């Protein structure tokens, strides 16, 4: 399983990988902000 994921990652363009990582970071940031707002409310 891990081997096939690594092979797929090699095929993916670095730009696409970077964009996906940025998107994931943005989603995580939004989620943590939502959690903070819930606690404050």
Tens-place pLDDT, residues 3-17: 888 888 788 888 888
* pLDDT, position 21: 93
What is the chain's mean pLDDT, rounded? 88
Domain extent, residue 7, equals: 2-40
User: How many angstroms separate the CA atoms of 32 and 39, rounded?
Assistant: 11
Report the predicted TM-score, pTM, of the whole model to 2 decimal places: 0.56
C-alpha closest to that of 21 among 12, 1, 6: 12
What's the structural domain count of the chain? 1
* pLDDT, position 1: 59
Those residues whose C-beta lies under 8 Å from the C-beta of residue 17, and which sit 6 or more positions away, are 9
Tens-place pLDDT, residues 15-38: 888 999 999 999 999 999 999 999
User: How many angstroms separate the CA atoms of 13 and 11, rounded?
Assistant: 6
């Amino acid at each position: 399983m891990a081997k096939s994921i690594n092979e797929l990652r090699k095929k993916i363009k670095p730009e696409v990988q970077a964009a996906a990582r940025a998107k994931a970071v943005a989603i995580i940031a939004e989620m943590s902000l939502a959690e903070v707002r819930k606690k404050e409310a």
